[in-house]
Structure 1
Amino acid sequence: MSELLLLLLAGGVGPVLLAEALLARYEVLAYTAGWRAPTTELPEGMPHALGAAADRPPDAYLVYLDGIGKRRFRDSRDGGRLVKTLIAGAPELRVLGQVLPYSPLADPLADRPVWAWLRRHVGLLLFLHNVMQIFVAADRRYRPLYNRAVGTQIATQLRLAGYRPGSGIPVVLLSYSGGAQVATGAVDELHAQLRSPLLLITLGGFHNGANDLTHARHLHLLTSAEDRIERVGTWIFPQRWRLFRRSGWNRARRAGRVTVHRLDPATHVGPRSYISPEAQLPDGRSHLDRTADTVISLIRAERSATAATEDEQHQGPRQGRHPGRTDRPDG
């Protein structure tokens, strides 16, 4: 262990955490005050979307909001594997992975000189930075500002990827871990700016349950009994408790817009995580393949249900169960 790390552990962790907390708040305040404009340009050669070609409308736009390892426009290693698997399995989707959930200014952490140095010497601080951003996004004092900032970032990237507001093409927010806090917070801003049908899929979602989900068509919660981190989120945030009936999360549950899907025995991180290509299931699939298959099936079912609803609006109501909905509501 380096002398620098020992020094931080001995007497510097407290000040570092304080500095992280202040920096996390600075970004959202700088955005709100207009001191700095969010970044919209991507690195040279990086497309605004992958998957379905831009010369025809895709079946849906999927925005992947990575976990706390996200510190540049490109996805983390595991997040990149998931995106590639989704594109291979569902070429009809146009996929965006460049959104920075933990930066209201869309400023890549890895590109900042001081953080590049820290990444080489004390990489843990990069994760602490993004963890702090999650709690800022959950703080009731900053939550509306953070939601507006990152919601606008997502809307901007969708437009640059070819999305036309009011087109009726679904937008899917697929979030992993802390990305769920950002996904649930972006709903209102995306509805206001794009008027798009919104489908949320959380994978091991860590969020406080305070955000209003009224404008989301549905939220699919992919979880596992072995996911301790996701479970901690249900304990530490009172808005996730059933006692707080008026929270955005509990209102959505009572309205039947939250469905739980079990991906046991996956863990949150590690060699048996949801997106592990090595961990095998009894049917021969990897955890990564099962997760991708589940996400794709949910999107296609929602797309089929939306198309059927549009047909009913043109042809009149028909009797029968709402097609495409094969999941069960979270009781």
Structure 2
Amino acid sequence: MIGFALLLLLGGLGLVLIAEALLARYEVLVYAAGWRSHTIAPPSGRPYARGADPHRPPAAYLVYLDGIGKRRYHDTRDGGQLVKALIKGAPELRVLGQVQPYSPLAVPLADRPVWVWVRRHIGLLLFLHNVMQIFVAADRRYRPLYNRAVGSQIATELRTAGYRPDSGMPVVLLSYSGGAQVSTGAVDELWSQLRAPIRLITLGGFHSGANDISHAQHLYQLTSAGDWIERVGTWIFPQRWRLFRWSGWNRAARAGKITVHGLDPATHFGSRSYISPKTRLPDGRSYLDRTTDTVIALIRGHLNMPAEIDGPLP
């Protein structure tokens, strides 16, 4: 009896995975066919960007691409604490946190009628859907379409928030976990539409390494020896292996465009995650404080980075 129940459970899970795989591809194909366009319209009362005075040029635009917990316009992984900390610590930045990295059509997952029921009854599927989107974005068959769709979404969001193409204003893409797959893929489309100086900061980045980031000025990889999720990404995607010398990731590494900075002993999630506001370092700062300070230092430092942050790719 127990064996039969287990078989039913595994069979049901298999069907769910197949359904999710098909649904994940649906959006990017709909976008590519031109049947639907982006939906760039935040809820009433929510600005397109926060931080620096919208009537004055900021020092830079910062676009935050959250991990698989992102399913609404507002930031969901940590209740928006990282974005709020960045705005407080660097008020000269104009910050966009509403981009939907796991929706080529820019439609928040939790706002779709069918998903309202799912969220109430089988919340795990929301995360599973976004996980599948990461693998669609990494799939060589769909990757160019996905990159163009989300890159165009980000470019539209930036222009709506006041960015002027060819202005030379820096754009920083800060990504958490699977958001790194999206941010590295968006570089070419952003460059094509905005000709912006682009910098990437990945936090526990989970990505395939296949995307060409030659139009990015630099990529700062914030990681930790305690982050096994990020390590899994380096194992399962061959383009992250040194053997594949001509992958986008390895070409960028040879060009000196990747800098690694350790945030040990942080973990990918949980009470000791990179963005934990409770767990403290010996110097009294929380893990969230340290991550915020590091991101701000990297943005402000540009090419003149402090010695304690800069370092070669191992």
TM-score normalised by structure 1 residue count: 0.91
The letter of the residue matching 2:137 is: A
**1:13 CA displacement:** 1.2
1:328 maps to 2:311: yes
- Cα offsets for 1:135-186 (capped at 9, x unmatched): 0000000000000000000000000000000111100000000000000000
**Aligned match of 2:40:** 40
**Aligned match of 1:123:** 123
| Inter-partner Cα distance in structure 2 for 1:142 and 1:10 | 28
| Inter-partner Cα distance in structure 2 for 1:64 and 1:209 | 19
The letter of the residue matching 2:301 is: A
Change (3 A) 1:15 1:52: same
**Aligned match of 2:85:** 85
Contact 1:59–1:92 at 8 Å: present in 2 too? yes
Change (3 A) 1:328 1:20: same
**Aligned match of 1:231:** 231
**Aligned match of 1:180:** 180
**Aligned match of 1:3:** none
| Inter-partner Cα distance in structure 1 for 2:8 and 2:286 | 39
| Inter-partner Cα distance in structure 2 for 1:161 and 1:9 | 47
Contact 1:204–1:222 at 8 Å: present in 2 too? yes
**Aligned match of 2:100:** 100
| Inter-partner Cα distance in structure 2 for 1:245 and 1:207 | 17
Task: Please list every run of 5 or more consecutive structure 2 residues that lacks an aligned counterpart in the other structure.
Answer: 1-5
Change (3 A) 1:238 1:126: same
Contact 2:242–2:250 at 8 Å: present in 1 too? yes
The letter of the residue matching 2:249 is: W
Contact 1:66–1:79 at 8 Å: present in 2 too? no
Contact 2:49–2:161 at 8 Å: present in 1 too? yes
| Inter-partner Cα distance in structure 2 for 1:8 and 1:93 | 52
Contact 2:66–2:77 at 8 Å: present in 1 too? no
**1:324 CA displacement:** 3.6
**Aligned match of 2:3:** none
**Aligned match of 2:294:** 294
Contact 2:70–2:77 at 8 Å: present in 1 too? no
**Aligned match of 1:277:** 277
SS in 1 for 2:61: strand
Instruction: List, as ranges, runs of 4+ consecutive aligned residues in structure 1 with deviation greater than 4 Å.
Output: none
**1:36 CA displacement:** 1.1
**1:329 CA displacement:** 2.3
Contact 1:64–1:96 at 8 Å: present in 2 too? yes
| Inter-partner Cα distance in structure 1 for 2:7 and 2:92 | 52
**1:8 CA displacement:** 7.8
| Inter-partner Cα distance in structure 2 for 1:54 and 1:108 | 25
SS in 1 for 2:273: coil
Change (3 A) 1:294 1:34: same
1:71 maps to 2:58: no
- Cα offsets for 1:266-302 (capped at 9, x unmatched): 0000000000001100000000000000000000001
Q: How does 1:196-275 map to 2 (within 5 A)?
A: 196-275=196-275
**Aligned match of 2:15:** 15
The letter of the residue matching 1:111 is: D
**Aligned match of 1:164:** 164
**Aligned match of 2:189:** 189
The letter of the residue matching 1:139 is: D
| Inter-partner Cα distance in structure 2 for 1:292 and 1:237 | 29
Q: CA RMSD in A?
A: 1.5
| Inter-partner Cα distance in structure 2 for 1:97 and 1:253 | 28
Identical amino acids, percent of aligned pairs: 77
| Inter-partner Cα distance in structure 2 for 1:8 and 1:265 | 40
The letter of the residue matching 2:118 is: L
The letter of the residue matching 1:251 is: R
| Inter-partner Cα distance in structure 2 for 1:77 and 1:274 | 12
| Inter-partner Cα distance in structure 2 for 1:80 and 1:257 | 29
**1:11 CA displacement:** 3.5
| Inter-partner Cα distance in structure 2 for 1:77 and 1:150 | 20
Change (3 A) 1:77 1:246: closer
